[in-house]
Amino acid sequence: MPSSIFSHCRQVGRLRKLCSTAIRPPHGPVSRPFSMTAAMQQKPQQMLRSQRVIASELVQKAEEKSEPSSSSAASTSEEVPMELPRVQARRTSQQNPADHTMDVEGFFYTVPPAVVEPLFGWTRPVSNTRGAAGATDMRSRTLQYLHEQGLTLREYALMIRQPALEVMDYIKKSDLSLPAVRYVLYGRHGSGKTASLAHILHFFAANDWLIVHMPRVTYYNRHYKEVADSTFHPGRIDLPVCSVEWLQHFLSQNSAILKDPSRKLLTHKTYVWSKREETPAGSPLLDIVELGIKRGRYANDAIGVLMRELKLLAPETGQKVGVVVDVVNALFSPTLIPRVNKTTVPAEVLSLYCHFRSIVRNDWTNGAIVTSVDRRNVTGEVHDHDGGGNYLPRYLLRGPGWEWMDPCIPVHVKDYQDKELTNCLDYYMETRWLQHENAGTQKGRDELKFVSGMNPGVLRSLVSRL
């Protein structure tokens, strides 16, 4: 039948287009009729894995002479875009991060949709415009690119990488009756520190840990929203609106644990908020959180109470507490919040930072503290004179921060390895995020690899336009 013959030609033509860059001999275009099988036998090692898969599929299809119905529909319209090679990224079906081992390093796993919203708070649509709803939401700022990508690609997939596996392995093997161990993730900008923290956060959530999560400390440099003097501690500065937001974030991450009476998370002493408002000793921790959310004026103090109680409750009740703080060095760097006398608020005075400094102290047990250090948007004179290259924890934490965080376990988040980069590109192609024809060729991939310098963040920005 003519239509089936046509479909055969069309498929081989597509195949030739696919394989031309990979298989074509160095001396120009092939003069003789293109022989698929011969070319594959000659230089199969030069083809990409994905191309080999599709090539074999297409050869099978061509031999089987696919149904004329589909081909006739395709042949009539010129609008049909050429399909990219159908690549399958390497994935694992293990959705509990505790099950992840080095065997699946570099693989993707999908965060279950039911977990995504309460854990990361990606409810609102991402807005590209400044000042619109969602743009200044603290929760949507957590891994914003993943949020965007998830909305576009209809799934939230994280790559399993060595630093997160290492930290999770340490946590699983450590003795929690000893003071909480602090892990500090460090690495180049865009190397995946926050993504690793997200993986660890999911590990905590999936294994019944209570989570204290600060998405990004530097967020408050710009988005402080409202500033008030502290009533409880004269001289300190409160951020009421931000603190309410954080408490809502805390509640959504831990609502199951906080609402479970069998956990016996009860306060140790009576907290007097004002003449008429007080929380008696022995009331559930949830009351403190809800009071802070309802009464913005006391939200900062409620966070302070929460941190104090969690430190006491963790060893008493056996409830494990996982602390995740992104950009922990900002807790020790001056903020950009202006004061009346035209100075900025130092970090020691901001009560929100004080409470988080207290929880990253290792003076409590039955918990783990995972932090990261980053140089982006962190203020301080030291960052202006180092040429932009130093990302080591000792350097970024500086004197006071290092004294506070010592001892800690530094974990280096490196750039991609070859297999990770390949799998990442495969993932982008599988989810149709990478559309360029040359993205599947060896030349294109080599270029992406070279120009990105194997840095995940740079690769992401390169791929976003292709």
Partner 1 sequence: MASHIRTSLMLLGVRNACAIANTERCISGVLIPVRHLSRMRTRTGNKGGFWIDRLAPPLFDRTAIERKLDENPDSRFDKVAPARIFQSSSAFSDPLVTKFTNMMMLEGMKDKAEEMMGRALKAVKTIQLDRYHAADESTKPTIILNPIKIFHKAVENCKPVLALAPLKRGGVTYQVPVSILEKKAEWTSMKWLILAGRDHDQKTDKFRNALARELIAASNNEGKVIKRKFDLHKQCEANKAYAHYRWSK
Q: Which parts of this chain interact with partner 1 (CB under 8 A)? A: 26-28, 74, 77, 79-81, 83, 128-129, 131-132, 148, 152-154, 432-433, 435-438, 441, 443-444, 446-447, 450-451, 461, 464-466
CB of 121 to partner 1, least distance (A): 21
Structure tokens, 61: 């299809």
Q: Are 369 and 180 in contact (CB under 8 A)?
A: yes
For partner 1, the closer of residues 60 and 438 by Cβ is 438
Concatenate the DSSP letters of all residues of 36-58 into one string.
HHHHHHH-GGGS-HHHHHHHHHH
Q: Are 303 and 243 in contact (CB under 8 A)?
A: yes
For partner 1, the closer of residues 365 and 431 by Cβ is 431
For partner 1, the closer of residues 290 and 447 by Cβ is 447
For partner 1, the closer of residues 6 and 402 by Cβ is 6
For partner 1, the closer of residues 26 and 407 by Cβ is 26
Residue whose C-alpha is closest to residue 122's, from 164, 102, 152: 152
Residue whose C-alpha is closest to residue 307's, from 142, 143, 170, 180: 180
CB of 28 to partner 1, least distance (A): 5
Question: Using CA atoms, how far apart are residues 90 and 107, in angstroms rounded to an integer?
Answer: 5
CB of 130 to partner 1, least distance (A): 8
Interhelix angle 2-23/49-64, nearest 10 degrees: 160
CB of 458 to partner 1, least distance (A): 13
Residue whose C-alpha is closest to residue 155's, from 435, 448, 430: 430
Residue whose C-alpha is closest to residue 34's, from 67, 62, 72: 62
Question: Using CA atoms, how far apart are residues 332 and 401, in angstroms rounded to an integer?
Answer: 6
Q: What is the DSSP letter of 273?
A: -
3-state SS assignment for residue 402: helix
Preceding peptide of 234 cis, ω within 30°: no
For partner 1, the closer of residues 62 and 153 by Cβ is 153
Question: Using CA atoms, how far apart are residues 124 and 6, in angstroms rounded to an integer?
Answer: 48
CB of 295 to partner 1, least distance (A): 34
For partner 1, the closer of residues 276 and 465 by Cβ is 465
CB of 74 to partner 1, least distance (A): 8
For partner 1, the closer of residues 24 and 264 by Cβ is 24
Question: Using CA atoms, how far apart are residues 356 and 325, in angstroms rounded to an integer?
Answer: 8
Q: Where are the alpha helices (DSSP H) in 325-392?
A: 351-359
For partner 1, the closer of residues 386 and 446 by Cβ is 446
> Which residues in 358-391 are b (16+ Cβ under 10 Å) and which e?
ebbebebebbbbbbbbbbebbbeeebeeeeeeeb
CB of 153 to partner 1, least distance (A): 7
Question: Using CA atoms, how far apart are residues 120 and 93, in angstroms rounded to an integer?
Answer: 21
CB of 451 to partner 1, least distance (A): 6
CB of 131 to partner 1, least distance (A): 7
For partner 1, the closer of residues 90 and 460 by Cβ is 460
3-state SS assignment for residue 369: strand
CB of 428 to partner 1, least distance (A): 11
